[in-house]
Amino acid sequence: MKNLYLLIVLQLIACCIYAQKTSIKNIDFKVDSVLKLMTLDEKIGQLNQLCIDFSSGPLITDQKSLEKIVVNGQAGSFFYAADMDLKIKLQKIAMNKSRMKIPLMFALDVIHGYKIVAPIPLAQSCSWDLAAIEKSERVSAEMSAAHGLHWTFTPMMDVTRDPRWGRVMEGSGEDSWLGAKIAVARVNGLQGNDLSKNNTVLACAKHLAGYGGAESGREYNSVEMSERQLREFYLPPFKAAVEAGVGSIMTSFNTISAVPSVSNKHLVKDILKTEWNYKGFVVSDMEAIGELLNHGIAEDTMDAAATAMNNQAADMDMSSVVYHKSLKKLVQQGKVKESYIDDACKRILRIKFALGLFQNPMGYFDKNRRDASLKNPEYQAATMDMAKKSLVLLKNEGNILPLSKKTKTIALIGPFADGKLNRDYMSTWTYHAEQKDVITLLTGIKSKLDPNSQILVASVCGFMGDCKTNEIENAVKLAKMSDVVILAIGENGDVNGECKSRTNLDLPGNQKELVKAIMALGKPTVAVLFNGRPLTLEWESKNIPAILEAWQPGTQAGNAVAEVLFGDYNPSGKLTMSFPINVGQIPVYYNQLPTGRTKTKPTDNMKSTFMDIPNEPIYPFGFGLSYTTFDYSDITLSNQEITATDTLTISVKITNTGKVAGEEIVQLYIRDLVADISRPVKELRGFEKILLNTNESKIVKFKISLEDLKYWNADLVYKADKGKFKVMIGPNSADTKEKIFSLK
């Protein structure tokens, strides 16, 4: 009778509740009805995420053990879940053989595309095109969902000022304000406007928090910063994602002020869940709860589980199985409140309802939809659009670009000339993309050139840029026979990403020897850079006449780069991360604080500067050239003074003074001239991307209100100061016009 009663209740829930709209706001009563029927073991099972790979252990050793875990309700989700047939089988087991019949979630790191790969996120941010970024994530979501995935561990929202850190390729650069705008676009693209539809995936904002501030740019390293700095620069993208409805958040590996994020009560419980009223769930990064032992704040796995759960800092344990091993005993011993487990479980169930999994647990497993997604022309078009908009023209001395399509002979030289190696033009996060589907640079150039033109190809230097002497000699011979040389140089995608920190940011290997040998010929030369982070290009920036930053542009790499090289697309990208002169200058970023001894002119002595290089980066935040030129008028203000309730309108006229149409990203910066604490020399507070034909002008208007002037002071009060502010507008952070206004 007891089992019959349970079955009837579950059927009633299925018939009467699941059919209702599954928005996060109105499903709590459904969650409560399920939670009341669950045993403690089953609740803990929902908190346990396992790697589906049989070799990962310790619970999963073979197919039989995997199925047993599902039957017993010992896991609520799995990651590294790529095999569609296996996912279908496990979901059927969960829905037919487990007691509670709670659907599973399947997850994978889909960072910038599944089979069709978009540019890396750092590259996408350089488009400053929020609509294109959202569309790119929509493509990624639809392809992922079509392949049976419910959840992806992206977007990364870490503010990144240190290019030694390999994961800068996953983020949106050095600016928190822009990062927050991009965070919203990414969440909206992944989750859509109705998460219950089977063409959406659950987004995961990561890594909370400060991960990008790791000391020495070393992966997993500690972070030391004030809460004021954390709130001002590192938390805003997360807060924006929460407000956009992101369903999951991942904690970071690092400590902040010696407290690991995965057990940081103030960060997760106090700020995220209470202050921001976050209703989604928090997942640890891989094995991070178990690593509390390594941090030295837990004696054993029981202690680690108690620390993370009692601080309510991790609702879900990714793969360390610490919760699985310890939580039940801890509850029985009175060391962990069951109410904390209930809260964590409710958060996870809430998202499963929102995803529509209770209503249609098999809704993501349509093989016909999966196969059709691979041929969708709209996906390729969106990826191509994103790739073109991500390219940044760093130098174009003598207007060598664009190249003529009738150039008689072109020498295409370098490791990325005709990419054949795994991860050429892609990143380490592209597990399921295949190199054969990538359009190489050679293929792209061939599609643009006159049939009578000749391309001489030297794919030299290999995976790590190790150029053999005979390879360089052969490349020089080909270059001598050419009219123009294109150098395809940089980093293979496998040297970027997690645990890919570097202390030397020069071109890997001895590519510089190749470059110097080619430049010695005096031929017109264009360098196309394929890389996942800012590189140190001191020699290259002085000696190569044209440099195009292509990043790792994905499966449409060759087509996108060729369109820019031959003028079918006028580049408009602007850097979102400064390029340092050398690693000794790091961190170098635009919104730094002034010092008591700021250098203002070259002859200044006893100022804050280096003896051997300038303070400024080679290429600053917001920098990027076009094949046309733009003139900025003086700034016009609607008022010289505003009150707390006023809105200031700031206007500037932009004119295309060149010979071709082009897009310009107009950037607005502010500075609080006198505040309670020292304020940055510049802070981005607006931008607009405009298209202008030759000789066309447009007046661009920005609005500034009290909210744009606020900051966190030393007492952690979010406020704005009365007094003078400087407003600056320009094509990049280093080249601006300015005006002064006052807040009364």
Structure tokens of 668?
A: 């607005």
CA gap 369, 364 in Å, rounded: 9
Question: How many Å apart are CA 587 and CA 593, to the nearest integer?
Answer: 12
CB 476 within 8 A of CB 513: no
Assign 606 to helix, strand or coil.
coil
| CA–CA distances in Å: residue 573 to residues 184, 386, 443, 654 | 20, 11, 23, 17
Can you tell me whether residue 66 is helix, strand or coil?
helix
HEC string for 140-187: HHHHHHHCCCCEECCCECCCCCCCCCHHHHHCCCCCHHHHHHHHHHHH
Backbone φ, ψ for residue 22 (5° rounding): -105, 55
Q: Report how far residue 410's alpha carbon sits from residue 448's, in angstroms, rounded to the nearest whole number.
A: 12
Q: How far apart are CA 235 and CA 249, in angstroms?
A: 12
Determine the Cα–Cα distance for residues 228 and 713; give it in Å rounded to an integer.
Answer: 7
646 is catalytic: no
Tokens 């499966």 -> residue: 555
Full 3-state SS string of 286-309: CCCCCCHHHHCCCCCHHHHHHHHH
365 vs 347: CA distance, rounded Å: 24
From 110, 684, 67, 116, select the one nearest 372 (Cα to Cα).
116
Which residues are CB-neighbours of 565 under 8 A, at least 6 positions away?
A: 401, 402, 403, 445, 448, 486, 526, 528, 548
Tally Cβ neighbours within 10 Å of residue 601.
6
Report angle CA 23, 25, 28 to the nearest 5 degrees.
100
Cβ proximity of 27 and 33 under 8 Å = no
Cis peptide before 58 (omega within 30 of 0): yes
Q: Name which of 472, 447, 445, 469 is nearest 459 in CA terms.
A: 472
Taking a C-beta distance cutoff of 8 angstroms, is the pair 177, 125 a contact?
A: no
The distance from CA 689 to its chain's CA centroid, rounded to whole angstroms, is 21
- Spatial strand order in the sheet of 281-283: 204-208, 248-251, 281-283
Query: What's the Cα-to-Cα distance from 688 to each of 38, 123, 488, 620, rounded to whole Å?
Result: 52, 18, 32, 18
Q: How far is CA 136 from CA 142, 182, 185, 530, 622, in A?
A: 10, 12, 10, 20, 22
| Amino acid, single-letter form, for residue 606 | M
Q: Catalytic: which of 129, 285, 385, 418?
A: 285
Q: Which residues are catalytic?
A: 285
